[in-house]
Structures are given as C-alpha cells and as structure tokens.
Amino acid sequence: MLKRLNLIILICFLATILPQTQPVLAVDNLAQQLNQLLNEDPDLKGAIAGISIRNATNGEVIYDHLGDVRLRPASNMKLFTAAAALSVLGEDYTFKTEVLTDGTIKKKTLQGDLYVKGKGDPTLLKEDFDKMAADLKTMGIQKITGHLIGDDTWYDDIRYSVDLPWSDEQTYYGAQISALTASPTHDYDSGSVMIEVKPGNHEGDKGEVAVTPNTDFVKIINQTATVAKDGKKKLTYEREHAKNTITITGTLPVKSKGEKEWIGVWEPTRYALALFKQSLAEQGIQLSGKVKTGTTPTEAKIVHTHSSIKLSELLVPFMKLSNNGHAETLVKEMGRVVKGEGSWEKGLEVMEAELAKFGINTETLVLRDGSGISHVNLVPSSQLSQLLVAVQQQSWFPAFLHSLPVAGASEKMEGGSLRNRMKGPDVRGKVFAKTGTISTVSTISGYVTTKSGQTLIFSIMLNNLMEDAKGKKVEDKLISIIASH
C-alpha cells in the first residue's frame, strides 16, 4: 500500500515539473490517427499524399507526411498568387479602363476615333459599358465619324497560359486573358458568356436559350429538344475552335429546371468592343467607322475613366469561387506594374521574388501559372503551410482570410467551394481553406479551429488519384481528425 502511495506521489510530482507531456501525447495521438487513415483508406491506394500541419501561433511543424515532396497543387496555387498580389499591389488596388479620343467634338459629332484602353479589369460588365456610353451622350456626342478601337496592349498578346489543356479552351475557367475583357455576371468570369437553357412548353419543342450578356457576339445553334417529364436532362455545349459559334445539343424534360453554363469566348478584346458598340447604339450614338483593335496614340485625351472594385473585394469571387481568370490577370498585372511587361514570364518572376519574403524556399517550386491549372506546377505542402503562417503578420491578412471558403457555409460568397462540404459540428464554420482540383489531383490548405480552441494550419495535397472526388472525402476525414485535437 505504501509503495502504491509513493508511486502516486511521484506521478503527481512529475506532472508538475513536466507539463509538456500532455501536448506531446496529443500530437502523438494525432499522428497515429492520421497515419492510420493514410495507410488504410482504399481511395489512397497508389496515390501520393503530402501533408504539413503547423501551429498557427509559432509555425512549429506538428505533423509531416512527405511534406517536402513536390506535388501538383491545383488551385492551391492561388494562395501564392493572392498573397503575392496583396503584397505587391495592395488591398486597395483597382484596375482602370480608359475611354480616349484623338478627335474633336463639333455640332454633336466626335470627329475622330474613339479608343477603349483596357488595363486588366476582369470585372467589366455590360452595365459598365452602358455608363461609358451614357457619359459620352452627356457630353453631347450623337455621332462618331471615326473608328471604335480597342487597345489591349497593357498586357502581351499571349491569351493562354503555357500548359492549358486544349480541352479547356471553351471553358470559362480556361478563358483567354486580355487587358480588355468583359464578364457576364457579378461572379466576374471574365472572357465568358453565361448560357441558360430552359425546356420548351411542350414535348418536341426546342429548349429556350438565353445568353448573358444579351449579345450577338456569339452565335447559338440550338439543337435541344424538350422530352417527357420522366426523360433525361442531358445537355452538351461545343464552341467551334477559333470562332464564337456555340452548338447546344441534348434534352430537357418538360417543366424541369433550366441549366446554366459558362463558355469562354474567342478573342475577349473584340467581345468587350462588341458590348461597348451595343451600348453606344442603345444611347443613340451613331458609329460611322469600324470596330477594330489597335494602339492608343499618345496625344489622345481621356474622356472617361472606369475603376474596378478594390483588390480586397475582388479576392472574394477569386478565392471563394476559385476563378482562374483572376489568378492569371493578377500575375500579368504584377509583371506590368513591377517590370513594365504584362506577361506570365515577368509576373511569375515577381511572384517568386515576393514569396521568398514570406520564408518560402522558391528553389523547391515549379511555377507555370497563377491559377494552378497546369499539371507541371509543383509545390511541397510544407511551403504552402509556411506561407499560411507568414501571411498572418501582414496588415492585409484579414482580407486574405476573408477570401477563403468557409466549411459548410451555404451562402455562395461565404462558403464558396466548401459550401457543400464539412457540415458536421466539429468543422462547420471552423475551417477556412482554399480547395484545388484538376484531373487526378485534389488539394486543400488553410486554417482550422480545433476542439480545444487552438488554430492549426494545414496543407493536404493528394496526387495520382483515380477519382479526385474521392480525394475530397479523404481530405474531409483528415481535417475532421485535425479538428478533434
């Protein structure tokens, strides 16, 4: 009995002088659970998992599994792009679009050319072109004798990032990048149109097709059919290469809910010009000349300037909805602002230099674009977790954190790509993270508040998956384990 009492006293004494034993045991238990899942989950058979978990307070690595192995990051690349853009451009940065002329106004006629000089704004809507046209009308202009000229020379003329798959050419997430472009909605999918297809009133009728913005820049070939109520809803969209002819085929059951699809256009500069020409006509302004592209002469005078929303606001659709166009635009903008050249090459040089300031070992990275759509991009999970530690010290961190999707939050501009994931009480509203998906790849990196109230930083990169959707289920299980500690 005395020996047992002495043992209890000894244990109590050790507990007072070795307070670190409890967290060590907790970390050991965390590692054990994570390792068990990685070893036993059938969806990871033949796949590669790179995982890095850190203490958000001091950056200490508390778990690592192949954390230094370079893997394809998919849209987790946008974490690098967003942080670099905030650091280089600032959270109050705006994109400008200028309307200029080298002519003079006489008797309600602009004698000369009208120029639209784009400077990268991915948020231009038809309503913005309406405002430009209305301002010209207020100036007394009813006729333009010259041409309407679009100037997109703020960036280079390379429209696609180096590794964009040819199959993504018509998609909104693979849309062409131009310094002068337009978006269909407030999601700001620049360089695309939104197509909505609804069933006809009766079986056998063609589906009803509407394009946003309402423009004849794209030609729709409607080969859809309305079928019986119990029929299949299956639509396909095909945009002809190097043209803006979109063929829609398939079936919709009568009285069924319509379907929306976003299609990237060919040549976004001319798309923006077509919308502006339409706005001029709607304001009763007659254009005598042609619509074409060119360079604004130095003597041209600005008659209207449009400013975009601030970068801190743009980050919300950019990150929540994982907008590839925004990422590539920001890369080119960083190149233009810092090195005087709006190209992927110069923009990525700027991005790499900026990342080094956050303690990122850039020698471990392969950067090919800003969105992560390339399968050649390579990033270790340990470098993503390092970034998430470092940015917490920046004045713009609240804007960065606010832009991340929130687990289980149903509103689109809050939950984003996580609005239908992780809805359990242990993780709902407690995970702020960027998702990523390309074929055979699923990734997620961000912040999680654990059961004890501690904030942990994690980066989970799953490559060589048979199905990327199954990878997301694995990620959710891993994050749930992390959140329980």
Residues annotated as catalytic are 75, 78, 322
What ranges in 90-125 are assigned the alpha helix state H? Answer: none
Beta-carbon contacts of 319 under 8 Å, excluding residues fewer than 6 positions away, are: 78, 82, 403, 404, 405, 416, 434
Question: Tokens 């109050």 identify what position?
Answer: 92
Amino acid at the residue 471: G
Residue 82 tokens read as 């967003």
Beta bridge partners of 316: none
Distance CA 201, CA 135 (A): 42
| Measured distance CA(427)–CA(448) in Å, rounded | 8
Give the residue from 178, 202, 205, 204 showing the smallest Cα distance to 190.
Answer: 178
Q: What is the DSSP string of 8-35?
A: HHHHHHHHHH-TTHHHHHHHHHHHHHHH
- Rg for the chain, CA atoms, rounded: 27
The one-letter code for the residue type at 441 is: V
Q: Which helix (H) or strand (E) holds 50?
A: strand 48-55
SS3 category, 56: coil
> How many CB atoms are located within 10 Å of the residue 234 CB?
12
**Distance separating alpha carbons of residues 308 and 293, to the nearest angstrom:** 22
How many CB atoms are located within 10 Å of the residue 15 CB? 11
CA distances from 450 to 47, 67, 231, 440, 484 (A): 27, 21, 47, 29, 6
Cα 279 to Cα 272: distance, rounded to the nearest angstrom:
11
Q: Quick count: other Cβ atoms within 10 Å of Cβ 240?
A: 13
Other C-beta atoms within 10 Å of 48: how many? 15
CB count, 10 Å around CB of 186? Answer: 11
Dihedral angle of Cα 69, 71, 73, 79, to the nearest 10 degrees:
20
DSSP 183: -
**Which residue reads 């060919």 in tokens?**
266
